[in-house]
A = this chain, B = another copy of it.
Amino acid sequence: IVDGTALWTDILETARFGGTPKGGIRRLALTEEDRQVRAWFVAACTALGCTVSHDSMGNQFARRPGRDADLPPITMGSHLDTQPTGGKFDGIVGVLGGLAVLRALHASGFETRHPIELINWTNEEGARFAPAMLASGVFAGIFTEQEALDRTDRDGIRFGDALATIGYRGAAPCGQHPVAAYFELHIEQGPILEAEGKTIGIVTGVQGMRWYEVTLTGRDSHAGTTPMTMRADALLAAARIIEAVSTVALAHGPDAVGTVGLMENRPNSRNVVPGTVFFSIDLRHPDDTTVSAMETDLRARIEHIVAAAGIGLAMERVWDSPAVHFDPDCIASVRAATDSFGYPARDIVSGAGHDAAYLARVAPTTMIFVPCAGGLSHNEAESAEPADVAAGANVLLRAVLDADTR
């Protein structure tokens, strides 16, 4: 079993890279804080006898050799980037949990058949560069390397340039890297496990999700002299669309969610009727046909709103990540590992996207969830219990060893 205390210490220690006064982390992808935690990762893995490399997307690979050098590695991983007001666990538990597995193998001198690899994926959150899971998406052939390098953040900085700036643009092409299996440990980020008193979520898949970008074009005008009836107020139209996103999600059953998370108002001055508004929409449901139905419903409402308000509309679907069903063998390994410890568990579908959703396209993949307090995530107050995190890492260890014997 893993050293739960060392794992918890690692979580607290890395939390200083981008740590916030409220106890969260602000460590956006490819920033100086990201560079610092990457350097920490290299040092920690090297100390356990691993060779650490990174590819052209900056994904980091810490490799522990196995008995048979010709076999592709069994991999574990997640991400060390965070939301602008993120917590100490989202992604981090998966990487540091994998590190705890490597530490256990190192301490016992256990020799696996496959090489074992721990991966830190670049820009999982999608907070700085949209969409989420960008670099694991390149790894899985969903996006081309060039597409990813050319993504820009909201300040116009290119992904490729930011990657070079922190010194993590590797020579090895992303994805030319066979993988025997991929296991990702993660906090649930939702309320189910905690509510039901379960320690482990055996993750069977990931729900479908789509992202859209909307630009509304009205007319800048004077707030004091432009009669209400002569306005083309882009923010007022945006307000109606935000309401419509909520209405559509509520109309498609309890599993449907819809969110406007990012919004930019221009010129953003108190006495100017806003002429331009840019915002994102996020729609999700476990069933892809429902996601499509939500999109159709929402598009009709948006077109009605902008037509009635005399506002110009540009709407683009910028991301479509269909529902994912994980590999039965990998799920069986996680189930067996969970049972061997006797942890209370249940099957669960992930509401959040994860690098595992893209890895599932190119390798046998699954995930392990542990509870987080109140289901709260993407929040500085995100919290998890040390015992649960250690339990998740134990399951990760045994699932990896189980897959190694297959």
Contact = CB atoms under 8 A, between A and B. Distances in A.
A261 B127 CA distance: 25
- In this complex, which of A223, A228, A262, A377 has the most chain B Cβ atoms within 10 angstroms of its Cβ? A223
A254 B225 contact: no
Contacts of A191: 230
A222 B192 CA distance: 14
A379 B225 contact: no
A55 B1 CA distance: 74
Contacts of A269: 83-84, 125-127, 261-262, 378
Contacts of A330: none
B209 A275 contact: no
Contacts of A219: 376, 379
Nearest to A260: B235
A364 B66 CA distance: 91
Contacts of A130: 270
Given A224-B257, A261-B223, A280 B272 contact: no
A221 interface: yes
A136 interface: no
Contacts of A209: 224
Contacts of A273: 259, 261, 378
B236 A243 contact: yes
Interface string A276-307: 00001010100000000000000000000000
B224 A271 contact: no
Interface in A46-81: none
A322 interface: no
B236 A261 contact: no
Contact of A246 (B228, B246, B268): B228
Contacts of A188: 225
A220 to B, nearest CB: 4
A213 to B, nearest CB: 9
A312 interface: no
23 contacts: A85-B266, A85-B272, A127-B271, A222-B351, A222-B379, A223-B282, A224-B257, A224-B284, A224-B351, A225-B350, A226-B257, A228-B258, A233-B246, A235-B242, A236-B246, A259-B272, A261-B270, A261-B272, A261-B273, A261-B274, A263-B274, A269-B378, A273-B378
